[in-house]
C-alpha cells in the first residue's frame, strides 16, 4: 500500500493492459531511484523494476536492491544534440518566425541474453520534457509527447519493452530492426527475418515504418524472399557475407566460393537494394536531425519509394554525407551535383594542409591530386558496386577516369507513380534507359570531382565500361556465364583485395614478403630453409636449462610472412587484368570534357539531361533500340601515355639525369643513379648509351670517350670497368662499341647449380667449399675498387640507405642479386648442417651488403639467438626496427627483442616488446601469447614491475632507447620521398615508397591508398 504523500503516477490508455490494472511509477522516498510497476488499485502497487536518474532500468521487485556491478535490462542513452524547429513534435504550439530549439536525442535499448543491446525506439528532449518516437505500439500523444523524465522512462519501458516482450513481439522499429539483424545475422537470414518481423507486427496491430515496408518490397522484387538454391545456407553457413565500407558506408556482399552466374547476379541485386534502403534511411535521419518531415517515424511507404526513386534518379544527392536536408519529394534537385565540386576542392585543401609539401613550389601537385581523387572515389556512396581507376598528367592539365557501369539487370523492376498512387512494372527498355541515365550521371559526377580536385585540370576524359552482365543474360550462353561467374567473383573481391605491385621494376625483389625470416626467401633466390622445429624455447619456458636451448625453432605453422597476401593479390590482379582485356569487358561510352564549358553546363543543367551533356562534348556512345548504352568501339583508354607525366614509368636505372634540389633532399641522392637497385638494368643502360655515343657523328671522338668514361666511373661496376679500355678505344677510333660480357652473375649461377648437384650426391663439404670459393672471389672482386658494394631489395630500401647509411661522396656499387642470394642460401644451409656459428660470416656479409634491408638483420638475430649471444640479438633487432617499413618485420623484430630482453633479465622491456609485437602484427607468432604469459608470471613472482597497458609498454621501450614503430626516423623519410617521387613524375620508385609510407601511416594500406597506388601504374 502506498502512503498518501508518496509521489506516483498511474497511466491510462495503454493498449493491451487489462481492466483496472494501470502501468505507472512510484518515487521511493529519500532515494534517486523510482519503482516501475502496475497499479492494481489507486493505492496498491506491484513493483517489477527499479529505475535510476540516468535512464537505467533494472528488473527487480526489491525496493532497495544492491545494484553495484549489475547491468540494466533496459535503458535510455543519449546520442547527441540537434537544432530543430520548435513545435508539436515537442508538445509545443507550432513555431512562428522560424524559431528553433536545441534538443538532445537518443535511443531506447534493451539488453539481450547474448550480451548484445537491441535498439527499440528513440527519444528527443528539450527543457526536461521528452517525446518518444519510433515506437511499435500506437500511443496517444499524452503518453508520448511532452513527458517528464519518470513518465518517459516508464512509458518507454512498458510500450517498447515489457508489453511487447510479454506478447513475444520484442521488435525494434523500422530500419533499426533491419540494421540490427543485418549486423548480427547472415544476410539472407537477416532479410527474411526482417520481412517476417514486419508481417508479424502488422498482423498484431503494431506499427511498421513506411521505409520498413519499402525495404520488404525491394527484397521481394528481386526474389530474396523466395527460393534461392545457390544462396541457401549449407548446414547453417550462407555463402554470402555482408560487410560495411568504413569509407562510404555502403554494404558489400562477399562470397566464400565462386557462385553460379544467376546466384552471383542475384547477390549483386540484393547488395544494390540494401544500399538503396540504407540511403533512404540516412536521408530520413538527416530530416529528423533538422526537424523536417518526413522522418522514419512518419514516412509512408509511398514517400519512401519516392525518396528512393529520387536518389536513384539523381545519385549526386546521397554521394556524400549531408549536413543540410533537401526536399526531394517535389523535385530531384539536379543542380546538387555542383556541391561535389566544392567537396572535392575542400578535400584537396584538407589533404594539403595535413601534409605540407616538402617543396614549397608544389603545395597541390600530383600527390595531393591523386590522394584527393582516391579518397573521393572510395568515399563515393552509390547504390551499385563499381570498379574505378584514373590517371592524370597535372602539368598538362589532363585526367582520365574509367569506371564500370551498373547494367539494366541491376535496375529496379517497378516504379511508384505518385499521381495515380500505383506501382507499375518496368520493361527491359525502361530499365535499360534508367541504367543509361544512371551511368551517364555517375560519369558526370566523377568528372565534377576531378575538376574540383585541382584547378589545374583542364580536361577530364570519362570512360564507362561494362563487365558483361547484359551480354551474358542476352546470350544465355553457358561459356559466357561461366566466364561471368569468375568475373563477378573478381569484381566482388576488388574492394578488399590485398596489395600487389603488379610486377615490374617497382616490385620488391623478395616478392614483398615480411615477418619471420625463416619462412621468407627471395623472388629469384633460394627457397627458405627454415630452422629445426624442436620446441626449444618452450623447453626454456618449462624450466629447461639455458645450455640446452638454442631458440632455433620455426614458426611456419602460423606465420606466412607476406606470402599469402601477396599471392592472393597477384591472383586477383591477374583476374582483373583478364577481366579488363578479355571478352567480357566492353566500353559503352567515352567523352572528354573541357573545364569551363563543363562547369558552365553543370551550373545550367546539373544532371537533368546527362545524354545531352555527353552529346554536347561529342561523346563516343551508342544508344540501342531499348534506349540503353551499347558497346562502342574507341581508342581512348586511361593507359594512354598522355594521361601520365612524361617518362613517369621510366626506372632510375634507365635514365641519367641530375635530380632537382627538392628531389635530392627527399631521395638522398644527387642523380637518378643514386636511386638504382637493378645492376643488370644499369649495365644495360650503359651499353646502350655507349652505342648512342658511337652513332653520334657530330660529337668529337675524345668527348665521346670522356663521356663514356665518366659513366663507367659513375656506375663503378668492376666488370664494366674492366671493359673500359676497349670501349673508349672504339669510340676514339670511330668504331661502334663492343658489347661487354658481364659473367659474374652467370658464373655464380653455374656454381650454385654444381653445388646443388654435389649436395644431392651426398658430397656436402665439397658442395659448400665449391660455392663458398666462387662467392668469396666475387666478394673480393666487388670490394676491390673504391666503391662500396651494396644490395637493395627495393627503391624504398635504397632511399633509406641514402639517408641513414651512405657517407658523403660515397660511390655505391650494385652487386649481382644472386651474390646476395648465395650468401643467404649458404647461411641457411650451414645453419642447418653445421650450426649457427658457421652461418654467421655469411649473415654478417648480408648485413654489410644490405644494411637498410630488415630481413638481413632478422636472419642474423635468429642465428645469434641460437648462439645465446643476447647482446648481439638485441643489437640486430634494434637495427631491424630502425629500417623496418612493414609491420610484419617490425612485429617479428620486437618478438626476438623480447626474447633477448628476457634472457638479459630485463623483464619490463621483455613484456613491453612482446606487447608491441602483438600490437604491430597481431597473431603473427603463435607462441607469443604463451611466452608473454610466462614472462609476466616470472616477473610477478619476483615482484618486478612490468607494463600492463600499451602506453606503459611504449614508454618503457622509449626509456630504453628502443624505437616505437612506426614512429621511427624512417617514417617521415618514406612519406617525403613518396610525395616528391609522385609530384616529380618518378612513379617507378614512388610506388614502392608510397607503399612503405602508407604501411607506416595511421590507416595502413586501406581502400584509398589502394586506389592511389593503382593510379601510379602505367
User: What does the alpha-carbon distance between residue 874 and residue 900 come to, in Å, rounded to a whole number?
Assistant: 6
Q: Which CATH architecture has domain 742-793+809-880?
A: Alpha Horseshoe (1.25)
Compute the distance between CA of residue 421 and CA of residue 434 in angstroms, rounded to an integer.
21
pLDDT 10s digits, 916-931: 999 999 999 999 999 9
Q: What pLDDT shows up at residue 947?
A: 96
With 90 as the cut, is the pLDDT of residue 704 above it? yes
Return d(Cα 50, Cα 182) in angstroms, integer. 32
* Digit-coded pLDDT (tens) for 301-324: 999 999 999 999 999 999 999 888
Here the cell at position 27 is 518515487
Closest CA to 351 of 1010, 1009, 800: 1009
Cα distance between residue 730 and residue 675, in whole Å? 30
Provide, rounded to the nearest whole percent, the portion of the chain with pLDDT above 70: 89
Which is it for strands 8-10 and 620-623: parallel, antiparallel or unpaired? unpaired
Residue spans of the domains in the chain: they are: 210-333, 334-496+584-630, 677-741, 742-793+809-880
Please provide the DSSP assignment of 662-714 as one string: HHHHHHT-SBGGGG---HHHHHHHHHHHHHHHHH-TTS-HHHHHHHHHHHHHH
Instruction: Give yes or no for residue 542 having a pLDDT over 70.
Output: no
The pLDDT tens digits of the residues spanning 133-175 come to 999 999 999 999 999 999 999 999 999 999 999 999 999 999 9
Residues in the chain: 1018
Sheet architecture: strand order including 129-133: 8-10, 22-27, 34-39, 45-51, 56-59, 74-85, 100-111, 117-126, 129-133
Percent of the chain whose pLDDT exceeds 90: 76
CA distance 292 to 287: 5
Q: Which of 553-567, 570-584, 706-720 has the highest mean pLDDT?
A: 706-720
Task: Return mean pLDDT, the chain.
Answer: 89
**739 is written with which cell numbers?**
658489347
Find all residues with CB under 8 Å of 407, minimum gap 6, and list them. 435, 466, 469, 470
What's residue 3's pLDDT?
A: 80
Question: How would residue 485 be classed by pLDDT, with cut points 50, 70 and 90?
Answer: low
What are the φ/ψ torsions at residue 40 (nearest 5 degrees)?
-85, -25
What is the CA angle 784-788-791, rounded to 5? 115
In sequence order, which residues have a C-beta less than 8 Å from that of residue 825 and are 6 or more positions away?
Answer: 525, 526, 529, 752
Cα(260)–Cα(268) distance, rounded to whole angstroms? 12
Contact 900, 874 (CB under 8 A): yes
Contact 949, 912 (CB under 8 A): no
Strand 251-255 to 240-244 pairing: antiparallel
Question: d(Cα 972, Cα 806) in Å, to the nearest integer?
Answer: 18
At 493, list the grid cell.
Answer: 573481391
In this structure, are residues 187 and 219 in contact, taking their beta carbons and an 8 Å threshold?
no
Q: Is 657 helix (H, G, I), strand (E, B) or coil?
A: coil
Which ranges constitute the DSSP H helices of 403-500? 428-453, 469-475, 478-494
SS (H, E, C) 517-576: HHHCCCCCCCCCCCCCCCCHHHHHHCCCCHHHCCCCCCCCCCCCCCHHHHHHHHHHHHHH
Distance from C-alpha of 459 to C-alpha of 595, rounded to nearest angstrom: 6
Mean pLDDT along residues 421-448: 96
CA–CA gap between residue 909 and residue 964 (Å, rounded): 12
Q: How far apart are CA 400 and CA 825, in angstroms?
A: 46
**What is the mean pLDDT of the segment spanning 599-617?**
97
Q: Which whole number is the average pLDDT over 189-211?
A: 96
d(CA 532, CA 538): 13
Position 374 pLDDT exceeds 50: yes
Residues 6+ apart with CB under 8 A from 333: 314, 317, 326, 327, 606
Helical H segments across 299-380, by residue range: 301-313, 338-354, 366-379
986: pLDDT strictly greater than 80: yes
Query: What pLDDT is stored for residue 567 in this prediction?
Result: 39
Distance between first and last Cα of the chain = 84
Do 573 and 498 contact (CB within 8 A), yes or no? no
Q: What is the rounded CA–CA span in Å between residue 491 and residue 405? A: 12
Instruction: Determine the pLDDT at residue 547.
Output: 30
Lowest mean pLDDT among 439-448, 827-836, 967-976: 827-836
CA 791 to CA 798: how far, in whole Å? Answer: 9
Burial 633-649 (b: 16+ CB within 10 A, else e): eeebebeeeebbbeebb
Question: Which residues neighbour 857 within 8 Å (Cβ) at sequence distance 6 or greater?
Answer: 847, 876, 877, 879, 880, 883, 893
Examine the pLDDT at 581 and tell me if it is beyond 60: no
Instruction: Please tell me the distance from the alpha carbon of residue 516 to that of residue 496, in angstroms, as a whole number.
Output: 25
Task: Tell me if residue 391 falls in helix, strand or coil.
Answer: strand
* DSSP assigned state of 909: H
Q: Is the pLDDT of residue 769 over 80?
A: yes
Q: How confident is the model at residue 470 (pLDDT cuts 50, 70, 90)?
A: low
| pLDDT in the model for residue 525 | 45
561 and 520 Cβ atoms separated by less than 8 Å: yes
**Can you give the pLDDT at residue 521?**
58
Query: 3-state SS of 492-515?
Result: HHHCCCCCCCCCCCCCCCCCCCCC
C-alpha distances in Å from residue 519, one per residue of 783, 875, 996: 30, 22, 21
pLDDT at 539 over 70: no
CA gap 304, 283 in Å, rounded: 10
Q: What is the pLDDT of residues 45-102, one digit of tens each?
A: 999 999 999 999 999 999 888 888 899 999 999 999 999 999 889 888 876 667 899 9
Report the sign of the C-alpha dihedral through residues 516, 520, 526, 528, in that order.
positive
* H/E stretch holding 182: helix 174-184
Cis peptide before 377 (omega within 30 of 0): no
3-state SS of 215-230?
HHHHHHHCCCCCCCHH
752: pLDDT confidence band, cut at 50, 70 and 90? confident
Cα–Cα distance, 782 to 721 (Å, whole number): 11
Beta-ladder partners of 117: 111
Q: What are the pLDDT digits (tens) for 932-964?
A: 999 999 999 999 999 999 999 999 999 999 999
| pLDDT confidence tier of residue 494, bands split at 50, 70 and 90 | very low
Residue 90 main-chain phi, psi, to 5 deg = -105, 10
List, for residues 635-682, the tens digit of each pLDDT value.
Answer: 999 999 999 999 999 999 999 999 999 899 999 999 999 999 999 999
* Residue 995: pLDDT over 70: yes
Q: What is the mean pLDDT of residues 538-562?
A: 33
Question: What was the pLDDT predicted at 68?
Answer: 85
Strand order, beta sheet including 620-623: 388-393, 398-404, 459-466, 586-594, 620-623, 629-630
Q: Mean per-residue pLDDT for 675-691?
A: 96
Q: Quick one: residue 476, left, alpha or beta (phi over 0 = left, psi -120 to 50 = alpha)? A: left
Amino acid at each position: 500500500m502506498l502512503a498518501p504523500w508518496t509521489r506516483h503516477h498511474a497511466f491510462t490508455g495503454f493498449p493491451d493492459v487489462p481492466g483496472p490494472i494501470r502501468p505507472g511509477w512510484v518515487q521511493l522516498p529519500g532515494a534517486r531511484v523510482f519503482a516501475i510497476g502496475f497499479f492494481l488499485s489507486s493505492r496498491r502497487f506491484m513493483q517489477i523494476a527499479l529505475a535510476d536518474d540516468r535512464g537505467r532500468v533494472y528488473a527487480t521487485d526489491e525496493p532497495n536492491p544492491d545494484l553495484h556491478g549489475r547491468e540494466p535490462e533496459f535503458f535510455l542513452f543519449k546520442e547527441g544534440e540537434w537544432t530543430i524547429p520548435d513545435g508539436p513534435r515537442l508538445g509545443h504550439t507550432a513555431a512562428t518566425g522560424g524559431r528553433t530549439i536545441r534538443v538532445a536525442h537518443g535511443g531506447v535499448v534493451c539488453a539481450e541474453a547474448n550480451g548484445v543491446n537491441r535498439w527499440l525506439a528513440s527519444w528527443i528532449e528539450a527543457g526536461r520534457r521528452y517525446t518518444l518516437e519510433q515506437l511499435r505500439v500506437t500511443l496517444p500523444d499524452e503518453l508520448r509527447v511532452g513527458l517528464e523524465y519518470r513518465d518517459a522512462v516508464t512509458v518507454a519501458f512498458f510500450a517498447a519493452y515489457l508489453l511487447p516482450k510479454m506478447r513475444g513481439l520484442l521488435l525494434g522499429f523500422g530500419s533499426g530492426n533491419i540494421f540490427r539483424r543485418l549486423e548480427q545475422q547472415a544476410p539472407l537470414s537477416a532479410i527474411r527475418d526482417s520481412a517476417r518481423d514486419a508481417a508479424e507486427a502488422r498482423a498484431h496491430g503494431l506499427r511498421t515504418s513506411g521505409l520498413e515496408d519499402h525495404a520488404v518490397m525491394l527484397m521481394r522484387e528481386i526474389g530474396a524472399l523466395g527460393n534461392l538454391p545457390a544462396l541457401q545456407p549449407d548446414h547453417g553457413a550462407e555463402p554470402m557475407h555482408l560487410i560495411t565500407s568504413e569509407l562510404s558506408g555502403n554494404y558489400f556482399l562477399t562470397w566464400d566460393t565462386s557462385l553460379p552466374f544467376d546466384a552471383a547476379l542475384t547477390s549483386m541485386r540484393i547488395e544494390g537494394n540494401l544500399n538503396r534502403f540504407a540511403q533512404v534511411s540516412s536521408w530520413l535521419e538527416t530530416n529528423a536531425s533538422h526537424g523536417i518531415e518526413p522522418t522514419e517515424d512518419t514516412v509512408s511507404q509511398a514517400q519512401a519509394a519516392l525518396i528512393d526513386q529520387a536518389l536513384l534518379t539523381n545519385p549526386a544527392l546521397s554521394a556524400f554525407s549531408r549536413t543540410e536536408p533537401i526536399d526531394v519529394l517535389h523535385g530531384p534537385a539536379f543542380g546538387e551535383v555542383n556541391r561535389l565540386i566544392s567537396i572535392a576542392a575542400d578535400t584537396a585543401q584538407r589533404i594539403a594542409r595535413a601534409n605540407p609539401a616538402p617543396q614549397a613550389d608544389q603545395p597541390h601537385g600530383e600527390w595531393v591530386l591523386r590522394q584527393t581523387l582516391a579518397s573521393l572515389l572510395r568515399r563515393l556512396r552509390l547504390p551499385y558496386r563499381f570498379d574505378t581507376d584514373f590517371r592524370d598528367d597535372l602539368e598538362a592539365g589532363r585526367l582520365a577516369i574509367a569506371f564500370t557501369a551498373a547494367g539494366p539487370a541491376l535496375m529496379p523492376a517497378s516504379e511508384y507513380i505518385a499521381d495515380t498512387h500505383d506501382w507499375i512494372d518496368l520493361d527491359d527498355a525502361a530499365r535499360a534507359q534508367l541504367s543509361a541515365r544512371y551511368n551517364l550521371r555517375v560519369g558526370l559526377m566523377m568528372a565534377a570531382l576531378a575538376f574540383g580536385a585541382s584547378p589545374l585540370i583542364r580536361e577530364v576524359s570519362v570512360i564507362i565500361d561494362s563487365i558483361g552482365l547484359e551480354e551474358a543474360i542476352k546470350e544465355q550462353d553457358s561459356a559466357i556465364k561461366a566466364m561471368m561467374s569468375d568475373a563477378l567473383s573478381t569484381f566482388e573481391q576488388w574492394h578488399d583485395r590485398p596489395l600487389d605491385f603488379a610486377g615490374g621494376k617497382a616490385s620488391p625483389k623478395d616478392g614483398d614478403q615480411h615477418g619471420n625470416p625463416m619462412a621468407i626467401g627471395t623472388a629469384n633466390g633460394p627457397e627458405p630453409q627454415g630452422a629445426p622445429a624442436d620446441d626449444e624455447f618452450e623447453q626454456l619456458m618449462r624450466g629447461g636449462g639455458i645450455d640446452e636451448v638454442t631458440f632455433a625453432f620455426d614458426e611456419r605453422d602460423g606465420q606466412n610472412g607476406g606470402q599469402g597476401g601477396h599471392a592472393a593479390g597477384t591472383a586477383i590482379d591477374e583476374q582483373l587484368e583478364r577481366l579488363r582485356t578479355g571478352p567480357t569487358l566492353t566500353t559503352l561510352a567515352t567523352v572528354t570534357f573541357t573545364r569551363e564549358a563543363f562547369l558552365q553546363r553543370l551550373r545550367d543543367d546539373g544532371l537533368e539531361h546527362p545524354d545531352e551533356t555527353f552529346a554536347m562534348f561529342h561523346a563516343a556512345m551508342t544508344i540501342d533500340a531499348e534506349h540503353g548504352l551499347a558497346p562502342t568501339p574507341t581508342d581512348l583508354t586511361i593507359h594512354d601515355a598522355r594521361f601520365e607525366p612524361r617518362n613517369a614509368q621510366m626506372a632510375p636505372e634507365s635514365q641519367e639525369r641530375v635530380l632537382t634540389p627538392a628531389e635530392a633532399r627527399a631521395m638522398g641522392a644527387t642523380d637518378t643513379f643514386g636511386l638504382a637497385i637493378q645492376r643488370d638494368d644499369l649495365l644495360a643502360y650503359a651499353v646502350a648509351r655507349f652505342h648512342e655515343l658511337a652513332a653520334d657523328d657530330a660529337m668529337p671522338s675524345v668527348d665521346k670517350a670522356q663521356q663514356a668514361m665518366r659513366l663507367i666511373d659513375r656506375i663503378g661496376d668492376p666488370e664494366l670497368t674492366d671493359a673500359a679500355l676497349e670501349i673508349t678505344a672504339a669510340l676514339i677510333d670511330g668504331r661502334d662499341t663492343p658489347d661487354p660480357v658481364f659473367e659474374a652473375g652467370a658464373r655464380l649461377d653455374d656454381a650454385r647449380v654444381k653445388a646443388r648437384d654435389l649436395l644431392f650426391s651426398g658430397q656436402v663439404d665439397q658442395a659448400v667449399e665449391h660455392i663458398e670459393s666462387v662467392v668469396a672471389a666475387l666478394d673480393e672482386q666487388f670490394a676491390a675498387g673504391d666503391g662500396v658494394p651494396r644490395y637493395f631489395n627495393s627503391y624504398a630500401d635504397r632511399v633509406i640507405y641514402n639517408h641513414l647509411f651512405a657517407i658523403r661522396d660515397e660511390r655505391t656499387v650494385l652487386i649481382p642479386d644472386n651474390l646476395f642470394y648465395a650468401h643467404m642460401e649458404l647461411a641457411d644451409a650451414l645453419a642447418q648442417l653445421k650450426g649457427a656459428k658457421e652461418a654467421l660470416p655469411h649473415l654478417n656479409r648480408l648485413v654489410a651488403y644490405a644494411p637498410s634491408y630488415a630481413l638481413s638483420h632478422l636472419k642474423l638475430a635468429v642465428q645469434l639467438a641460437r648462439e645465446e649471444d643476447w647482446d648481439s640479438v638485441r643489437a640486430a633487432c634494434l637495427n631491424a626496427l630502425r629500417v623496418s617499413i612493414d609491420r610484419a618485420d617490425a612485429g617479428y623484430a620486437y618478438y626476438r627483442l623480447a626474447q633477448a630482453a628476457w634472457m638479459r633479465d630485463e623483464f619490463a622491456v621483455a613484456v613491453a616488446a612482446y606487447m608491441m609485437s602483438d600490437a604491430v602484427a597481431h597473431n603473427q607468432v603463435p607462441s607469443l601469447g604463451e611466452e608473454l604469459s610466462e614472462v609476466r608470471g616470472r616477473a610477478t613472482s619476483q615482484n618486478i614491475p612490468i607494463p600492463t597497458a600499451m602506453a606503459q609498454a611504449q614508454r618503457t621501450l622509449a626509456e630504453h632507447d628502443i624505437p616505437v614503430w612506426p614512429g621511427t626516423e624512417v617514417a617521415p623519410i618514406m612519406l617525403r620521398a613518396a610525395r616528391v617521387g609522385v609530384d616529380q613524375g618518378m612513379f617507378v620508385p614512388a610506388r614502392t615508397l608510397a607503399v612503405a609510407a602508407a604501411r607506416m601511416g595511421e590507416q595502413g594500406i586501406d581502400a584509398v591508398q589502394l586506389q592511389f597506388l593503382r593510379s601510379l601504374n602505367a
